[in-house]
Structure 1
Amino acid sequence: MALTTSSPVAPMLAKAVPAVPEPDSVEGGLSYEPKWDGFRAIVYAEPDGEGGIGAVEIGSRGSKMLTRYFPELVEAFRRLLPGPCVLDGEIVVPTGEPGTQRLDWEALSQRIHPAASRVKLLSEETPATFVAFDLLALGDESYLDRPFAERRAALEEFAGDLPDPIQLTRTTTDVDLARRWLVEFEGAGLDGVVAKPLAGGYAPNKRTMLKIKHHRTADVVALGYRIHKSGRGVGSLLVGLYDDSGRLLNVGGVSAFSDAKRLSLIDELEPLVERDESGEAVTGATDRSRFSGSKDVSFVRLRPERVLEVRYDQMEGMRFRHTAQFERWRPDREARSCTFDQLDRPIAYDLGDVLS
């Protein structure tokens, strides 16, 4: 095949915009589709040499392979796919009874587990679904340079009639319908709407798509934590993002944990605590400001390996303007993928125009 796990492709990314854009805002028009709230996945279904499917691997947005965590999907790809291919899509876990189902992020997150026995049990109790939204290769032919309109047509022909657990995301060129989706689909646990240029090729690791979410979020790296003012548990997490030069910069804090969560975070973060040669936890201190006064600005350093999603309102320079809110852990994300270019930054506007 043109694309394999030995020469993997990085997924095409999306830039955040504040509202669903008009179709004529991009040359060639836009296609709209739901934004699924799951694990981004590139599926490599390789040939077996006899015309069928052989090895199947599931790559994540970063370098982490997800294959071992979703054995039910690997089996389904081998059984259901018409032939060798590379698909771009999202792994999700739906829960609830028919008619009241919604996406369950917690159930999905639990699938990233080191014990094979636990993975097997969860694959039976909370089976995953793969939602395909792009076709990157078919047989030994790469589709990366083809416009999305052509890739989508080929995807529908190739996978449009496949049964569960493989689904094909819906699309529309009707901007009014896309705006309805943004409002209506939130009730099912979806994350917003994505707009794709119909004439555009597949651009690995480039933010050529547009995403519209219900609120601003960012995936950040846990840098350390401060002890709560009570002396018990985690009071706040310090988080960071990588800049263009590869430096990991502190962008603010995350707080507002419940009493139980503060205590559990101490144990949860213990394996990541940096320690010196004597085994003592390494501490640091954030910069003081005129607002900090005598406040303790020291924190326990963590190895920058764990990613979390936070909700924020706006940026001020290179930092969150206010304390961010914890949304969830992101076990599918690599720390190095957490960069500033994911942030939704407001369009510059003259204060004089605001006041006039």
Structure 2
Amino acid sequence: MPGGTRWEPKFDGFRLGAVVSSAGVRLFSRQRKDLTGAFPDVAAAIAEQVPAGCVLDGEVVRWSGERLDFDALQRRLTASPRTIGRLAEEQPATYVAFDLLAAAGNDLRSQGYGVRRQLLEELAKGWWPPLSLSPSTSDREVALAWMRELAPAGVEGVVAKGAAQPYLGGRRDW
């Protein structure tokens, strides 16, 4: 892969872009559907911990014990606002960030993944749950171990990324 390969776990959740502005946070699906209302707990955490001018790419997941619970996430998409509030309290979601597309209002998509990842790691240093940073490694053996060890938790596999690769929205190049 361009610039060497980086691997990350592929979590079983909903992919969400998080746009942080001075007006607040909006969460969007891959199809550009606004899902902010379905995940108010995640939006509130991002608003509190991520500065305006940032755009994150990540996965919203729900842990139930040691396992991911995709069904709990799906319930949020069809629930009433009142029910969503209860679900957010009883079954909180976690946002796992794996890319940074903008920072301080600057578009980073043309930068290589390695640069964006370094900036994301810096940004995530002060985060606390429900925000988290996706693990990443350049060690193939670690990636293979993740495939074996994380599968029982509902992790679907690993994603390979080129460290020099720019962000190519709408394409599945990873």
Superposition TM-score, scaled by structure 2 size: 0.96
Q: Which runs of 4+ in 1 moved over 2 A?
A: none
In the alignment, structure 1 residue 198 sits paired with structure 2 residue 167:
no
Which has the larger share of helix? 2
- Equivalent residue, structure 2, for 1:81: 50
Output the amino acid matched with 1:195.
A
Contact 2:62 2:92 in 1 (8 A): yes
Find 1:71's aligned residue among 19, 31, 40. Answer: 40
String of CA shifts for 1:260-315, please: whole Å, max 9, x gaps: xxxxxxxxxxxxxxxxxxxxxxxxxxxxxxxxxxxxxxxxxxxxxxxxxxxxxxxx
Q: Which residue of 1 aligns with 2:136?
A: 171
Q: Highest relative contact order (Cα 8 Å, sep 6+), 1 or 2?
A: 2
* Rounded Cα–Cα distance in structure 1 between residues aligned with 2:68 and 2:43: 20
Q: Which residue in the other structure is 2:16 paired with? A: 41
* Paired position in structure 1 for 2:95: 130
Find the residue that maps to 1:156 and give its secondary structure: helix
- For residues 66-123 of structure 1, the C-alpha deviation after alignment (integer angstroms, 9 at most, x for no partner) is 1000111111111122443100000000112xxxx21111111111124111111111
SS in 2 for 1:112: helix
2:55 counterpart letter in structure 1: V
Q: 1:60 maps to what in 2?
A: 29
Match of 1:32 in 2: 7
Equivalent position SS for 2:137: coil
Question: Does the 8 A contact of 1:76 with 1:165 survive in 2?
Answer: yes
Native 8 Å contact 1:133 1:168 kept in 2: yes
SS of equivalent to 2:166: coil
Counterpart secondary structure, 1:41: strand
Q: 1:108 and 2:73 equivalent?
A: yes
Task: Report the AA paired with residue 187 of structure 1.
Answer: P
2: CA distance, partners of 1:160 / 1:41: 21
Segments of 5+ residues of structure 1 without an aligned counterpart are 1-25, 48-53, 210-356
**1:112-161 alpha-carbon deviations (Å, 9 max, x no partner):** 12411111111111010000000000121000000000000000001133
Counterpart pick for 1:150 among 87, 90, 115: 115
Indicate conservation of the 8 Å contact 1:130/1:167, yes or no: yes
For residue 29 of structure 1, report the CA deviation from its aligned partner. 1.1
8 Å contact from structure 1 (residues 82, 158) kept in 2:
no
Equivalent position SS for 2:173: strand
Between the aligned partners of 1:208 and 1:169, the Cα distance in structure 2 is 18
Alignment root-mean-square deviation, CA: 1.1
Q: Secondary structure in 2 aligned to 1:136?
A: strand
- % identical aligned pairs: 40
| Corresponding residue pairs, total | 174
Match of 2:151, SS state, is: helix
Give me the whole-angstrom Cα distance separating, in 2, the residues matched to 1:155 and 1:199: 15
Could you list the runs of 5+ residues in structure 2 that have no partner in the other structure? none
What pairs with 1:11-30 in structure 2 (closer than 5 Å)?
26-30=1-5
Q: Is the 8 A contact 2:53 2:106 kept in 1?
A: no
Output the CA distance in 1 between the equivalents of 2:161 and 2:153.
Answer: 22
CA distance in 1, matches of 2:156, 2:106: 32
Residue-by-residue CA offset, 1:222-263 (whole Å, 9 max, x unaligned): xxxxxxxxxxxxxxxxxxxxxxxxxxxxxxxxxxxxxxxxxx
Distance 2:106 2:157 in 1: 32
